[in-house]
Protein backbone atom coordinates (compact mmCIF):
# COMPACT_ATOMS: atom_id res chain seq x y z
CA UNK A 1 0.00 0.00 0.00
CA UNK A 2 2.74 2.44 0.95
CA UNK A 3 6.29 2.86 -0.30
CA UNK A 4 9.19 1.21 1.53
CA UNK A 5 11.16 3.17 4.08
CA UNK A 6 14.23 4.75 2.49
CA UNK A 7 17.22 5.04 4.80
CA UNK A 8 19.24 8.23 4.90
CA UNK A 9 22.16 6.90 2.86
CA UNK A 10 19.76 5.83 0.10
CA UNK A 11 18.35 9.35 0.10
CA UNK A 12 21.85 10.82 -0.19
CA UNK A 13 22.74 8.48 -3.06
CA UNK A 14 19.54 9.41 -4.89
CA UNK A 15 20.10 13.16 -4.57
CA UNK A 16 23.79 12.91 -5.51
CA UNK A 17 22.93 10.75 -8.51
CA UNK A 18 20.64 13.56 -9.67
CA UNK A 19 23.72 15.82 -9.49
CA UNK A 20 25.77 13.45 -11.66
CA UNK A 21 27.70 11.61 -8.93
CA UNK A 22 27.54 7.82 -8.71
CA UNK A 23 27.30 5.68 -5.59
CA UNK A 24 30.96 4.65 -5.70
CA UNK A 25 32.11 8.28 -5.42
CA UNK A 26 29.73 9.04 -2.54
CA UNK A 27 30.68 5.85 -0.66
CA UNK A 28 34.43 6.18 -1.24
CA UNK A 29 36.42 5.42 1.90
CA UNK A 30 33.64 3.38 3.52
CA UNK A 31 33.06 -0.38 3.51
CA UNK A 32 29.59 0.12 2.01
CA UNK A 33 28.20 -0.71 -1.42
CA UNK A 34 24.90 0.15 -3.05
CA UNK A 35 23.53 -3.38 -2.69
CA UNK A 36 24.13 -3.65 1.07
CA UNK A 37 22.53 -0.24 1.67
CA UNK A 38 19.16 -1.54 0.46
CA UNK A 39 19.13 -4.49 2.87
CA UNK A 40 16.58 -4.52 5.71
CA UNK A 41 19.37 -5.11 8.24
CA UNK A 42 21.49 -2.22 6.93
CA UNK A 43 23.42 -0.30 9.56
CA UNK A 44 25.78 2.62 9.04
CA UNK A 45 28.66 3.27 11.39
CA UNK A 46 29.33 6.84 12.56
CA UNK A 47 32.62 6.82 10.64
CA UNK A 48 30.78 5.90 7.42
CA UNK A 49 28.22 8.68 7.95
CA UNK A 50 30.97 11.24 8.46
CA UNK A 51 32.85 10.01 5.38
CA UNK A 52 29.72 10.13 3.19
CA UNK A 53 28.89 13.69 4.25
CA UNK A 54 32.50 14.79 3.68
CA UNK A 55 32.48 13.12 0.25
CA UNK A 56 29.27 14.90 -0.78
CA UNK A 57 30.63 18.29 0.27
CA UNK A 58 33.89 17.62 -1.58
CA UNK A 59 32.24 16.33 -4.75
CA UNK A 60 29.78 19.19 -5.07
CA UNK A 61 32.12 21.93 -3.83
CA UNK A 62 29.05 23.43 -2.15
CA UNK A 63 29.56 24.19 1.59
CA UNK A 64 25.81 24.86 1.96
CA UNK A 65 24.77 21.54 0.41
CA UNK A 66 22.80 20.70 3.54
CA UNK A 67 20.31 23.48 2.80
CA UNK A 68 19.68 22.11 -0.68
CA UNK A 69 19.36 18.46 0.37
CA UNK A 70 16.96 19.33 3.18
CA UNK A 71 14.71 21.26 0.80
CA UNK A 72 14.61 18.26 -1.55
CA UNK A 73 13.39 15.84 1.15
CA UNK A 74 9.83 14.61 0.50
CA UNK A 75 7.25 13.09 2.80
CA UNK A 76 7.39 9.96 0.62
CA UNK A 77 11.06 9.54 1.57
CA UNK A 78 9.81 8.52 5.03
CA UNK A 79 7.80 5.62 3.62
CA UNK A 80 4.87 4.52 5.79
CA UNK A 81 6.02 6.91 8.52
CA UNK A 82 5.59 9.75 6.03
CA UNK A 83 2.06 8.63 5.23
CA UNK A 84 1.28 8.55 8.95
CA UNK A 85 2.39 12.18 9.15
CA UNK A 86 0.52 13.04 5.95
CA UNK A 87 -2.75 11.67 7.34
CA UNK A 88 -2.37 13.31 10.79
CA UNK A 89 -4.96 15.85 11.95
CA UNK A 90 -2.48 18.63 12.78
CA UNK A 91 1.18 19.46 12.51
CA UNK A 92 1.49 18.66 16.23
CA UNK A 93 0.20 15.12 15.68
CA UNK A 94 2.49 14.67 12.68
CA UNK A 95 5.50 15.81 14.74
CA UNK A 96 4.47 13.47 17.55
CA UNK A 97 4.15 10.38 15.36
CA UNK A 98 7.53 11.02 13.69
CA UNK A 99 9.12 11.39 17.13
CA UNK A 100 7.35 8.30 18.53
CA UNK A 101 8.73 6.09 15.77
CA UNK A 102 12.17 7.70 15.75
CA UNK A 103 13.75 4.29 15.11
CA UNK A 104 12.18 4.32 11.62
CA UNK A 105 13.56 7.77 10.87
CA UNK A 106 17.33 8.05 10.95
CA UNK A 107 18.61 11.20 12.61
CA UNK A 108 22.10 12.62 12.54
CA UNK A 109 20.77 15.26 14.91
CA UNK A 110 18.23 14.33 17.59
CA UNK A 111 15.55 16.99 18.22
CA UNK A 112 14.29 17.61 21.75
CA UNK A 113 11.24 19.87 21.86
CA UNK A 114 10.05 22.27 24.54
CA UNK A 115 7.72 25.24 24.87
CA UNK A 116 8.17 28.50 26.77
CA UNK A 117 6.50 31.92 26.75
CA UNK A 118 4.34 31.08 23.77
CA UNK A 119 7.28 29.82 21.72
CA UNK A 120 8.11 26.36 20.46
CA UNK A 121 11.78 25.37 20.53
CA UNK A 122 13.68 22.39 19.20
CA UNK A 123 17.16 21.68 20.56
CA UNK A 124 19.34 19.66 18.20
CA UNK A 125 21.86 17.25 19.70
CA UNK A 126 24.33 15.15 17.77
CA UNK A 127 23.57 11.42 17.64
CA UNK A 128 27.17 10.99 16.49
CA UNK A 129 30.00 13.50 16.93
CA UNK A 130 30.24 15.55 13.72
CA UNK A 131 32.99 18.09 14.38
CA UNK A 132 33.36 20.38 11.35
CA UNK A 133 30.45 18.61 9.63
CA UNK A 134 27.94 19.97 12.16
CA UNK A 135 26.87 22.97 9.99
CA UNK A 136 25.84 20.57 7.22
CA UNK A 137 23.64 18.59 9.61
CA UNK A 138 22.01 21.67 11.16
CA UNK A 139 21.33 23.23 7.77
CA UNK A 140 19.85 19.99 6.42
CA UNK A 141 17.63 19.53 9.49
CA UNK A 142 16.19 23.05 9.40
CA UNK A 143 15.69 23.03 5.65
CA UNK A 144 14.06 19.60 5.86
CA UNK A 145 11.75 20.75 8.67
CA UNK A 146 10.59 23.70 6.57
CA UNK A 147 10.06 21.52 3.49
CA UNK A 148 8.12 18.79 5.31
CA UNK A 149 5.95 21.18 7.35
CA UNK A 150 5.09 23.21 4.26
CA UNK A 151 4.27 20.05 2.34
CA UNK A 152 2.02 18.72 5.12
CA UNK A 153 0.01 21.93 5.66
CA UNK A 154 0.29 23.64 2.24
CA UNK A 155 1.26 26.78 4.17
CA UNK A 156 4.62 28.55 4.51
CA UNK A 157 6.44 27.46 7.66
CA UNK A 158 8.52 30.33 9.07
CA UNK A 159 11.51 29.95 11.42
CA UNK A 160 11.61 32.69 14.07
CA UNK A 161 15.20 32.38 15.28
CA UNK A 162 18.19 30.05 15.00
CA UNK A 163 21.01 29.59 17.51
CA UNK A 164 24.00 27.40 16.58
CA UNK A 165 27.14 26.35 18.44
CA UNK A 166 29.55 26.97 15.58
CA UNK A 167 31.10 30.20 14.30
CA UNK A 168 29.55 32.16 11.44
CA UNK A 169 30.43 30.34 8.21
CA UNK A 170 31.43 31.81 4.89
CA UNK A 171 28.46 32.65 2.68
CA UNK A 172 26.28 33.08 5.76
CA UNK A 173 23.97 35.20 3.63
CA UNK A 174 22.73 31.83 2.32
CA UNK A 175 21.13 31.38 5.75
CA UNK A 176 19.12 34.56 5.33
CA UNK A 177 17.93 33.56 1.89
CA UNK A 178 16.95 30.05 3.03
CA UNK A 179 15.64 30.66 6.56
CA UNK A 180 14.77 34.40 6.61
CA UNK A 181 15.27 34.86 10.36
CA UNK A 182 17.91 36.04 12.85
CA UNK A 183 20.81 33.60 13.30
CA UNK A 184 22.98 33.65 16.45
CA UNK A 185 26.39 31.96 16.22
CA UNK A 186 28.73 30.60 18.94
CA UNK A 187 25.80 29.63 21.14
CA UNK A 188 25.90 27.02 23.93
CA UNK A 189 23.23 24.93 22.16
CA UNK A 190 21.78 24.38 18.73
CA UNK A 191 18.22 25.67 19.20
CA UNK A 192 15.55 26.48 16.62
CA UNK A 193 12.61 28.74 17.57
CA UNK A 194 9.20 28.26 15.96
CA UNK A 195 5.78 29.86 16.30
CA UNK A 196 3.85 27.63 18.71
CA UNK A 197 0.56 28.47 16.99
CA UNK A 198 1.76 26.61 13.92
CA UNK A 199 1.47 23.32 15.81
CA UNK A 200 -2.29 23.58 15.36
CA UNK A 201 -2.09 24.01 11.58
CA UNK A 202 -4.32 21.35 9.97
CA UNK A 203 -2.67 18.79 7.72
CA UNK A 204 -4.10 19.14 4.21
CA UNK A 205 -4.66 15.41 3.55
CA UNK A 206 -5.74 14.51 7.09
CA UNK A 207 -7.62 11.20 7.27
CA UNK A 208 -8.24 9.50 10.61
CA UNK A 209 -8.78 6.02 9.15
CA UNK A 210 -5.61 6.18 7.04
CA UNK A 211 -3.68 7.50 10.04
CA UNK A 212 -4.84 4.56 12.17
CA UNK A 213 -3.70 2.06 9.53
CA UNK A 214 -0.32 3.76 9.05
CA UNK A 215 0.22 4.03 12.80
CA UNK A 216 -0.36 0.28 13.11
CA UNK A 217 2.05 -0.41 10.25
CA UNK A 218 4.71 1.71 11.95
CA UNK A 219 4.27 -0.31 15.14
CA UNK A 220 4.66 -3.54 13.17
CA UNK A 221 7.84 -2.27 11.51
CA UNK A 222 9.28 -1.39 14.91
CA UNK A 223 8.42 -4.85 16.23
CA UNK A 224 10.01 -6.52 13.18
CA UNK A 225 13.12 -4.41 13.62
CA UNK A 226 13.33 -5.29 17.32
CA UNK A 227 12.97 -8.99 16.47
CA UNK A 228 15.87 -8.78 14.00
CA UNK A 229 18.09 -6.97 16.49
CA UNK A 230 19.66 -8.29 19.65
CA UNK A 231 18.16 -6.61 22.70
CA UNK A 232 21.57 -5.09 23.48
CA UNK A 233 21.62 -3.52 19.98
CA UNK A 234 18.12 -2.12 20.51
CA UNK A 235 19.19 -0.59 23.82
CA UNK A 236 22.29 0.93 22.24
CA UNK A 237 20.17 2.46 19.47
CA UNK A 238 17.86 3.97 22.08
CA UNK A 239 20.82 5.37 24.03
CA UNK A 240 22.29 6.94 20.90
CA UNK A 241 18.94 8.61 20.26
CA UNK A 242 18.89 10.07 23.79
CA UNK A 243 22.01 12.28 23.70
CA UNK A 244 23.29 13.14 27.16
CA UNK A 245 20.77 10.89 28.92
CA UNK A 246 21.71 7.45 30.21
CA UNK A 247 18.82 5.90 32.15
CA UNK A 248 19.16 3.28 34.85
CA UNK A 249 18.18 -0.34 34.23
CA UNK A 250 14.74 0.43 35.66
CA UNK A 251 14.39 3.51 33.45
CA UNK A 252 15.32 1.57 30.32
CA UNK A 253 12.96 -1.26 31.26
CA UNK A 254 10.13 1.23 31.62
CA UNK A 255 10.94 2.67 28.19
CA UNK A 256 10.87 -0.83 26.68
CA UNK A 257 7.62 -1.70 28.46
CA UNK A 258 9.02 -4.58 30.52
CA UNK A 259 10.00 -5.08 34.15
CA UNK A 260 13.58 -4.51 35.27
CA UNK A 261 13.78 -8.20 36.18
CA UNK A 262 12.67 -9.27 32.70
CA UNK A 263 15.14 -6.90 31.01
CA UNK A 264 17.98 -8.21 33.16
CA UNK A 265 17.08 -11.82 32.36
CA UNK A 266 16.79 -11.19 28.60
CA UNK A 267 20.18 -9.49 28.51
CA UNK A 268 21.72 -12.36 30.48
CA UNK A 269 20.42 -14.72 27.79
CA UNK A 270 22.46 -12.68 25.27
CA UNK A 271 25.51 -12.93 27.52
CA UNK A 272 25.69 -9.25 28.51
CA UNK A 273 24.52 -6.99 31.30
CA UNK A 274 22.87 -3.60 31.07
CA UNK A 275 25.96 -1.96 32.56
CA UNK A 276 28.18 -3.55 29.90
CA UNK A 277 25.85 -2.26 27.17
CA UNK A 278 25.85 1.18 28.76
CA UNK A 279 29.65 1.23 29.07
CA UNK A 280 30.13 0.07 25.46
CA UNK A 281 27.93 2.93 24.24
CA UNK A 282 29.73 5.47 26.43
CA UNK A 283 33.14 4.25 25.32
CA UNK A 284 32.21 4.48 21.63
CA UNK A 285 30.86 8.01 22.08
CA UNK A 286 33.87 9.08 24.17
CA UNK A 287 36.33 7.95 21.51
CA UNK A 288 34.37 9.73 18.80
CA UNK A 289 34.12 12.95 20.82
CA UNK A 290 37.87 12.90 21.39
CA UNK A 291 38.66 12.21 17.73
CA UNK A 292 36.14 14.43 15.99
CA UNK A 293 35.37 17.37 18.28
CA UNK A 294 37.19 19.99 20.32
CA UNK A 295 35.22 19.25 23.49
CA UNK A 296 37.15 19.17 26.76
CA UNK A 297 37.18 16.02 28.95
CA UNK A 298 34.87 17.82 31.39
CA UNK A 299 32.35 18.55 28.61
CA UNK A 300 32.57 14.99 27.26
CA UNK A 301 32.08 13.56 30.75
CA UNK A 302 28.96 15.68 31.16
CA UNK A 303 27.56 14.50 27.80
CA UNK A 304 28.16 10.90 28.89
CA UNK A 305 26.25 11.38 32.12
CA UNK A 306 29.14 11.72 34.57
CA UNK A 307 28.72 14.27 37.33
CA UNK A 308 32.48 14.61 37.82
CA UNK A 309 35.21 14.67 35.18
CA UNK A 310 37.41 12.44 37.37
CA UNK A 311 34.75 9.71 37.14
CA UNK A 312 34.87 9.94 33.36
CA UNK A 313 38.68 9.84 33.31
CA UNK A 314 38.67 6.75 35.55
CA UNK A 315 36.05 5.01 33.42
CA UNK A 316 37.92 5.82 30.20
CA UNK A 317 41.14 4.33 31.57
CA UNK A 318 39.25 1.16 32.60
CA UNK A 319 37.79 0.86 29.09
CA UNK A 320 40.91 1.54 27.05
CA UNK A 321 43.91 1.17 29.36
CA UNK A 322 44.91 4.73 28.45
CA UNK A 323 44.46 8.16 29.92
CA UNK A 324 42.17 10.62 28.13
CA UNK A 325 45.17 12.86 27.41
CA UNK A 326 47.07 9.96 25.84
CA UNK A 327 44.15 9.06 23.60
CA UNK A 328 43.71 12.68 22.56
CA UNK A 329 47.29 12.82 21.36
CA UNK A 330 46.57 9.87 19.06
CA UNK A 331 43.36 11.43 17.79
CA UNK A 332 42.66 14.79 16.25
CA UNK A 333 44.20 17.87 17.89
CA UNK A 334 41.79 19.34 20.40
CA UNK A 335 41.43 23.07 20.83
CA UNK A 336 39.75 24.92 23.63
CA UNK A 337 36.18 26.00 23.06
CA UNK A 338 35.40 29.63 22.46
CA UNK A 339 33.49 31.40 25.18
CA UNK A 340 29.83 31.60 24.19
CA UNK A 341 27.24 34.12 25.22
CA UNK A 342 23.73 32.60 25.21
CA UNK A 343 21.21 34.57 23.16
CA UNK A 344 18.47 31.94 23.33
CA UNK A 345 16.73 30.45 26.39
CA UNK A 346 17.61 27.09 27.85
CA UNK A 347 14.48 25.90 29.69
CA UNK A 348 13.67 22.38 30.78
CA UNK A 349 13.40 20.02 27.83
CA UNK A 350 10.45 17.84 26.96
CA UNK A 351 10.27 15.04 24.40
Pairing of strands 109-116, 119-126: antiparallel
- Residue 110 domain-assigned (yes or no): yes
Q: How confident is the model at residue 335 (pLDDT cuts 50, 70, 90)?
A: very low
Q: Where are the alpha helices (DSSP H) in the chain?
A: 8-18, 23-26, 34-37, 46-60, 65-71, 80-86, 91-100, 134-153, 173-179, 208-228, 231-240, 249-256, 260-269, 274-292, 297-303, 309-320, 324-330
Q: In what order do the strands lie in the sheet with 109-116?
A: 109-116, 119-126, 190-195, 161-163, 183-184
Domain assignment present for residue 218? The answer is no
- The mean predicted confidence, pLDDT, of the chain is 84
pLDDT at 342 over 60: no
| pLDDT band at residue 143 using 50, 70 and 90 as cut-offs | very high
Q: Are 56 and 183 found together in one domain? A: yes
Q: Is the same domain home to 28 and 162?
A: yes
* Whether the predicted pLDDT of 253 surpasses 70: yes
Look up the pTM and report it.
0.75
Percent of the chain clearing pLDDT 70 (strictly above) = 86
| Whether residues 184 and 102 fall in one domain | yes
- Tell which of 154, 182, 200 closes a domain: 200
> What distance in Å separates the CA atoms of residue 92 and residue 325, rounded to the nearest whole number?
45
At 285-326, the pLDDT tens digits run: 888 888 888 788 988 888 888 888 999 999 999 998 888 888
Do 235 and 177 lie in one domain? The reply is no
Give the pLDDT score at 343: 39
Instruction: Specify the number of domains making up the chain.
Output: 2
Residue 61 pLDDT > 80, yes or no? yes
Residue 41 CB-density burial (10 A; 0-12 exposed, 13-18 middle, 19+ buried): exposed
Taking phi over 0 as left and psi of -120 to 50 as alpha, with beta for the rest, 149 belongs to alpha
pLDDT category, 146, cuts 50, 70, 90?
very high
CATH number for the domain harbouring residue 326:
1.10.10.60
Same-domain pairing of 169 and 240: no
pLDDT at 329 > cutoff 70: no
Candidate from 165-169, 171-175, 230-234, 294-298 with smallest mean pLDDT: 230-234
Residue 257, domain extent? 230-330
On whether both 171 and 35 belong to a single domain, the answer is: yes
Do 24 and 108 share a domain, yes or no? yes
Residue 332 DSSP label: S
Amino acid sequence: MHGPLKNKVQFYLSRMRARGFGAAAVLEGTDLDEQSIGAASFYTTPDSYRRIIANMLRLTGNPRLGIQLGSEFKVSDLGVLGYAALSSATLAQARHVIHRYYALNEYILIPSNFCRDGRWYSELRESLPLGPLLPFAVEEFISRTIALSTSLTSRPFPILKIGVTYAEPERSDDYQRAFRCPVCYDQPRNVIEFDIERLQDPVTLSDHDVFTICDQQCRLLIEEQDQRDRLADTIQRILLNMPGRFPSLAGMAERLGVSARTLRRQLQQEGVTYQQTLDATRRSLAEQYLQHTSLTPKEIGFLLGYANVSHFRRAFRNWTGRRVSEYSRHGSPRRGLRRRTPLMPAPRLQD
